[in-house]
């Protein structure tokens, strides 16, 4: 694979995800932008923490075949 392609692939996906667009790679899956609200979590030792909100990239594998 050419380095230019990898560079372009990385940048295009980053841009599209930041624009909240879904990017579908045929035969692989879909990349999505996802916002997660803040939430409370309790650890096993009993302490409770408030998790901050965050934006993240999620990937869902295509269902048909592998």
Partner 1 sequence: MKIDREQLTELLVEKSGLDKEQVASQLDTLVERIRQAAREGKSFHIEGFGTFVAKGEELLFEPDEPLQTEVNQKYAGMKPIELIGAYREQAAGGAGADDDNVVEAGEETTPASRRDKIRARAEKARKEAARRAETEEEAEEPALPEKKEAPDPQMTETERTKEAVESKEGKTGRPAGKDTAKEGFKMARKKSFKKARAEGRKSRDRQPLSAVAGRIVGISLILVAVMAAGWWAWDAGWFEGDLEPDPPAVEEPDNRPSMSQEQQGGEETQQQPASEQGGGQTVTGDETGQNAVSGGDPAAQQPAYGLRGELNTQLASFYTIVVHSLTNQPRADRLAEVLMEQGYRVSIRSVTVDGIPYWRVGIGQFESVQSAQEAAEGIPEPYRSDHFIRNFQ
Contact call for residue 63 and partner 1 (CB under 8 A)? no
Give the shortest CB-35-to-partner 1 separation in angstroms. Answer: 9
Calpha distance 62→66 (Å, rounded) = 8
Per-residue x/- track, 9-48, partner 1 (CB under 8 A)? xxxxxx-xxxxxxxxxxxxxx-x-x------xxxxxxxxx
Calpha distance 30→22 (Å, rounded) = 7
**Which residue's entry shows tokens 């841009």?**
15
In the 8-state DSSP scheme, what is residue 52? P
> Contact residues for partner 1 (CB under 8 A)?
1-2, 4-14, 16-29, 31, 33, 40-59, 61, 66
């Amino acid at each position: 694979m050419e380095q230019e392609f990898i560079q372009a692939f990385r940048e295009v996906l980053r841009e599209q995800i930041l624009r909240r667009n879904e990017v579908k790679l045929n035969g692989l899956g879909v990349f999505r932008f996802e916002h997660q609200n803040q939430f409370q979590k309790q650890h096993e030792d009993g302490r409770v923490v408030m998790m901050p909100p965050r934006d993240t990239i999620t990937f869902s594998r295509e269902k048909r075949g592998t």
